[in-house]
Amino acid sequence: MVSTEVKNVAAHMDMDRGGAFDFSNCIRNQAMCKMGAKAPKLTSTGTTIVAVSYKGGLVMGADSRATAGNIIADKHCEKVHKLTESIYACGAGTAADLDQVTKMLSGNLRLLELNTGRKARVITALRQAKQHLFNYQGYIGAYLLIGGVDPTGPHLYMCSANGTTMAFPFTAQGSGSYAAITILERDFKVDMTKEEAEKLVQRALEAGMHGDNASGNSLNLVIIEPKETVFKGPIVPEFCKRPEPNDLVYKFKTGATKVLKNKTFKYDIIESMDISH
Amino acid sequence: MDTMREEKRNAIPAIGYYPQEEISTGTTLIAMEYNGGVVVGTDSRTSAGSFITSRATNKITPITDNLVVCRSGSAADTQAIADIAKYYIETFSMMENENVTIYRATQIFRQFLYNYRDSLSASVLVAGYDDKLGGQLYALPIGGFVTRQRSTASGSGSTFVQGFLDSKWRPDLTLEECKAIVKQAVGLAVFRDGSSGGVVRVATIDKTGTKLELFRPDKPGFPSVAPPKGHLSFPDHIEQSV
C-alpha cells in the first residue's frame, strides 16, 4: 500500500550505510504519515546555553525549558550535565541523546580517573564526544559546550552533532544563541573576575530566554575553579515569573459547609507525589 | 548526485528530523612553494548557513613538526581525517624510527579521501618540508585526487585570486616575497568572498620547522584592500574616500 511517491523517495535514499542504526523505519514512517497516521514528536531542547572563561576559571549556564513542538514539555529541565568534579557539559539538541551522551562521557571519564589516578582533562572529554558523534554522522543530535578546569588550565570547547569541534574564550549554543552571543560579543573582556563572568553569563542567558520562544523559565549556572565548583540555580528572571501567583488561596471559613457525618480512618503514607510545579 | 548527501538534507517530519545546516569552512586557502620551504595562508571564518560560528578558526592543522594540512569543506569530516591521518603518520614514524615523508603523508590522506569519497566532503592542502624533496605542496580536492603544485588556491575564495597567483609566481622566490604574495592573495580573496573573513593566519614550513603567524584586521600588517570608490554619477555621500 505504498504510494509511488513514497517508493520514489525510498529508491532515492541509500539506507544500507553503517551497521549501528537501521533506517528502514524512516520509509515506513513516511508511508504511514502519507496514509494519515499521526507521528509522535521528539522532545527537543530549543535551548540557550552559554559559557565564558575568565581569569583562572569558567562559568557555564543553561536555561531550563524543554520543548516538544509548541508545547513546553518540561519547565525545570537540567541542561548542565556534570562529567567530572571539574568538567561540565551544557547541551542543546535532542534531549534523550544529550542525556545518553553525557552519561557515557561521565562514566568513561570516571573510569579513566580511577585507572590513572589523575584528574581527567577537558580535551579527553572533547575527543570522546567528537569521535562518538562523528561515528554516528550527526544522527545523534547532541550539540555540546564542554568546559572545565584541569591541571593545564581552564578550557572551553564546542562540539557539534556531526563531530566538529572548536575552542573558544566565550560562546553560546542552541536556538537562543543568536541573542545570547550579541551580549557576549559586546561585553566580553579577557581576564574578567569571577563576578563579572558570572554576571555576563546570566545576562547572555536572559537575552536568549527573552528573545527565543523555545528558551525560558529559569536558568542554572555552574562556576568551575581549580579548587571548587559551585552550582547556582534555578534562578528565575523577573520576566519569566508568572504574572499572578501560581497557587491561589481557596480557603473557606470554617462552618461554610455543614458537617453531616464524622468518621476517622488511619493511613500510613508510603509514597507522596511532588505536585509543587 | 551523491545519495547520502541528498538524504542528509531532506527533512523527515515523520520522526521530527530537521537537519541542521552543516558547519563548513567556506574558505580561502592559499599556499606556495619557495626555495627552501612552503608558505600557506588562510582566512579564519567558519559558518553554518549564514551564521558565523567562529571568526578566529585555525584551518592550518599541524600534523608533525614540518607538515601541516589546510582544511576546507565540512569541518567535521576534515577534522576527523586530520586526526586519523595524524595517528597513522605518528605510528609509522615510531615503528620505522624515521620521519614520514611529505609525499607518503599525502598518500595517507589520499587513501581516506578516495576510499570514503561518497560520504566525505573534504578537500585539503598538504604542505611540508622533508630533506628528500625540500618544500612540497600537494592539493587534494574532493574525491581523492593528488597533484603537486608550486602554488595553489582552494576553497570558495580561491576563484577570486587564481589569476593573481598565476601572475605572481616565479622560480626562486624568497621566503619574504612568497609570504607577501600569499598574504596579499588571502586579503584579496577575503575582500570579495562573503564566506571568507576574520583574521589571516600564515604558516611557513622549512627545515627548521613550522612557524605560525596571525594578522588581525585591527592591528598593523593585515593585508587590507582599498575599497573601490563609487561611480561618479552617484551622489556625493555614496562616493566615500578610503
Q: If contacts are CB pairs under 8 Å, which of residues 140-179 in chain A contact chain B?
A: 160-166, 168, 178
Which chain A residues are Cβ-neighbours of B116 within 8 angstroms? none
Q: How sure is the predictor about A30, in pLDDT bands with cuts at 50, 70 and 90?
A: confident
Tally Cβ neighbours within 10 Å of residue A18: 13
A35 reaches B (C-beta below 8 A)? no
Question: What DSSP letter does each residue of chain A carry, written as one string?
Answer: ---HHHHHHHHHS-----SS--THHHHHHHHHHHTTPPPPPP-EE---EEEEEETTEEEEEEE--EEETTEEEESS---EEEEETTEEEEEEEEHHHHHHHHHHHHHHHHHHHHHHSSPPPHHHHHHHHHHHHHHTTT-S-EEEEEEEEETTEEEEEEE-TTS-EEE-SEEEESTTHHHHHHHHHHH--TT--HHHHHHHHHHHHHHHHHH-TTS-S-EEEEEE-SS-EEEEEEE--GGGS-SS-SS------TTSS--------------------
Best mutation target among A30, A130, A164 (most B Cβ atoms within 10 Å) is A164
Cβ-contact A137, A98 below 8 angstroms: no
Which chain B residues are Cβ-neighbours of A184 within 8 angstroms? none
Shortest Cα distance from B193 to chain A (angstroms)?
23
pTM of the shown model: 0.82
pLDDT per position as a tens digit, A176-222: 999 999 999 999 999 999 999 999 999 999 999 999 999 999 999 99
Catalytic residues of B: 27
pLDDT over 70 percentage in chain A = 88
Best mutation target among A47, A123, A166 (most B Cβ atoms within 10 Å) is A166
Residue B148: φ, ψ to 5°: -85, 135
Listed by start position, the domains of chain A span 44-237
pLDDT per position as a tens digit, B21-79: 666 768 999 999 999 999 999 999 999 888 899 999 999 999 999 999 999 999 999 99
Q: How sure is the predictor about A1, in pLDDT bands with cuts at 50, 70 and 90?
A: very low
Q: Enter the ipTM.
A: 0.86
**Are residues B53 and A26, on separate chains, in Cβ contact within 8 Å?**
no
User: Which residue's entry shows cell 531550563?
Assistant: A64
Superfamily of domain A44-237: Aminohydrolase, N-terminal nucleophile (Ntn) domain (3.60.20.10)
**Chain B residues within 8 Å of chain A (Cβ atoms):** 3-4, 6-8, 10, 12-17, 19-20, 22-23, 46, 51, 53-54, 57, 74-76, 79-80, 119
The CA distance from A47 to A236, in Å, is 16
Structural domains in chain B? 20-215 (3.60.20.10)
**Are residues A42 and B15, on separate chains, in Cβ contact within 8 Å?**
yes
Nearest CA in chain A to B59: A166
Cβ-contact A64, A220 below 8 angstroms: yes
Helices vs. strands in chain B: H and E counts, helices first: 5, 13
